[in-house]
A and B are shown apart, each in its own frame.
Chain A
Amino acid sequence: MKILVPVKRVIDYNVKVRVKADQTGVELANVKMSMNPFDEISVEQAIRLKEAGVCDEIIAVSIGVQQCQETIRTALAMGADRGIHVLHDGDVEPLAVAKILKELADKEGPSLIIVGKQAIDDDSNQTGQMLAALLGWGQATFVSDIQVEGEQVKATREVDGGLETISVKLPSVITTDLRLNEPRYASLPNIMKAKKKPIDQTSPADLGVDPSVRLEILKVSEPPQRESGVKVEDVADLVDKLRNTAKVI
């Protein structure tokens, strides 16, 4: 089977983001960019399914600016077989991303699409579910374990109350949660090999998708800052402050 893995280029999770002074967005100049951490988990899972003989081809897809090719190269260095870059020089919203991925799925015919549960920049947590709806496929979101069993995927999902197990018919969309696996680092030889793996380039227009945005961002502002507090001497002082100063216990 083929597996499609969308990989998003986002500000690295270690960067402390700064809101631009003109409130139009956040500072992206000279900021370290990386693959969305949940997408690393998706790539890793696809590779493990390939190693287990369940999958024979992994296609990494990224939608966005030219530099998204670096994100695809990272996926190729980890072990994906080829890449598709959908070049687009503006923001794309989850619905448009899902529409683009649907077109690619119609062309490529994957049995599984493994999507990150959320991108750590916009924190939308939408794309996978939207894609499943557009394809008319089943979905298993926020998964911490999956087993492919014939024409079904058995998935354990992280839910508010604990864990839930469902089974979904193939083809289907999976969205990955943190505990699914620990992504590997690409080895130097694999980074070299990845340079020779093919990346096709296409565009939303080629795929017949209108990527124009529906949400207008009126402004991006700083969240309220907390005032810094005090250090307490010892536990007795802490309990006293909680009872008599803050009055929360």
Chain B
Amino acid sequence: MTILILAEHDNTQLRPATLNAVTAAKELGGEIEVLVAGSGCEGAANDASKIEGVTKILIADSDEYANALAENVATLVSKIAENYSHILATATTSAKNIMPRVAALKDVQQVSEISEVIDAETFVRPIYAGNAMATVKTSDSIKVITVRGTSFEAAQEEGGSAPIEKIEASGDAGLSQYIGSELSASERPDLTSARIVVSGGRGMQSGENFPIIEAVADKLGAAVGASRAAVDAGYVPNDYQVGQTGKVVAPDLYIAVGISGAIQHLAGMKDSKVIVAINKDEEAPIFQVADFGLVADLFKAVPELDDELQKNGFSG
């Protein structure tokens, strides 16, 4: 049994999301190979070769993979798919874009966002915004699977020394073209892997008020997130959205500020270890999942929290 993992990277570096898929692959058992498709992507391939537990790295280095366009990457993966029992990737937006395309090219019904491996054919996945857990068994000969990052620990980044093998590029499908990106620049930790997340909701009233949350986040070394309502209203960019249709996070500490706790939001954060809610409405559903609830006006409580952290020696 050999498993292929589609690496997530920016050509120069491997993205940490790849490490969660490696752990899921280890639970399946078998040889683990990682495909790095990119342009000028030796850096990412070198990173991948160091991951503990990986057997081999395949590198496809060609212009058509520079921006991970689904049409081109899926063609490449489908060409080598027959060599593998399973094809895995962590469910990032990039993998969500590419993997179903691979599955369809191989006539396979993909299993999306698994949260648990039962055996090589049986997996648990959340459905209905995490309000139910389905145990599903697939009989497809190649299993195409995306992995929920927060459900599997990251594999060790160091310790391996897998050989890197070049494979032939599959060409440009000529169907789509990359134009550009507008990435939110941030010095803060990545939302999906941060140990602490502080999120703001509609209660924040405007983007201009987010600095009070950011001050707290910076004292705690936390990432900043948001509810859909806060993103829709333009307070913060789209990549801040936590929830069923945004990012799934499971930090040690999640602080929800001015967020009511709709099921779609809870779907993205209810696996956090400790949840704090700050909300002025004591009936808000967020309090049903909060370990510590503070019923207060956030415009008073959040600056107070900032001061209290300062007093306790947190300076960021």
B257-272 at interface with A (beta carbon < 8 Å): 263-264, 270
Minimum distance in angstroms from B282 CB to a CB of chain A: 8
| In-complex Cβ contact of B93 among A122, A126, A160, A218 (8 A) | A160
Q: Which of B18-26, B27-35, B173-181, B207-215 contacts A (4 or more CB under 8 A)?
A: B173-181
Residues of A within 8 A of B99 (CB): 129
| In-complex Cβ contact of A17 among B74, B102, B132, B136 (8 A) | B132
Contacting pair B105 A133 (CB below 8 A)? yes
Q: Which of B56-64, B80-88, B155-163, B303-311 contacts A (4 or more CB under 8 A)?
A: B303-311
Contacting pair B232 A220 (CB below 8 A)? no
Main secondary structure of the interface of B (DSSP, over half): mixed
Contacting pair B127 A122 (CB below 8 A)? yes
Contacting pair A129 B100 (CB below 8 A)? yes
A203-238 at interface with B (beta carbon < 8 Å): 213-223, 226, 228-232, 234-236, 238
| In-complex Cβ contact of B292 among A130, A131, A219, A241 (8 A) | A241
CB closest chain-A residue, reference B314? A249
User: Contacts A139-B70, A159-B239: A214 and B139 contacting too (C-beta < 8 A)?
Assistant: yes
Q: Which of A71-79, A140-148, A192-200 contacts B (4 or more CB under 8 A)?
A: A140-148
Contacting pair A130 B181 (CB below 8 A)? no
Interface flag for A39 (CB, 8 Å) = no
User: Contacts A98-B104, A160-B247, A239-B309: A219 and B135 contacting too (C-beta < 8 A)?
Assistant: yes
Contacting pair A126 B100 (CB below 8 A)? yes
A1-26 at interface with B (beta carbon < 8 Å): 11, 13, 16-17, 19, 26
CA distance A158 to B275 in the complex (A): 27
Contacting pair B294 A222 (CB below 8 A)? no
| In-complex Cβ contact of A141 among B97, B133, B134, B179 (8 A) | B97
B137-183 at interface with A (beta carbon < 8 Å): 137-140, 173-183
Chain B residues with a Cβ under 8 A of chain A: 69-71, 74, 92-94, 96-105, 107-113, 122, 126-140, 173-184, 192, 196, 220, 228, 231-232, 237-239, 244-245, 247, 252-253, 263-264, 270, 273-276, 282, 287-296, 301, 304-305, 308-309, 312, 314
A-B contact pairs, 5 of them (CB 8 A): A98-B104, A130-B104, A142-B93, A216-B136, A226-B270
- 4 closest A-B pairs by beta carbon, nearest first, are A138-B175, A130-B104, A129-B100, A229-B291
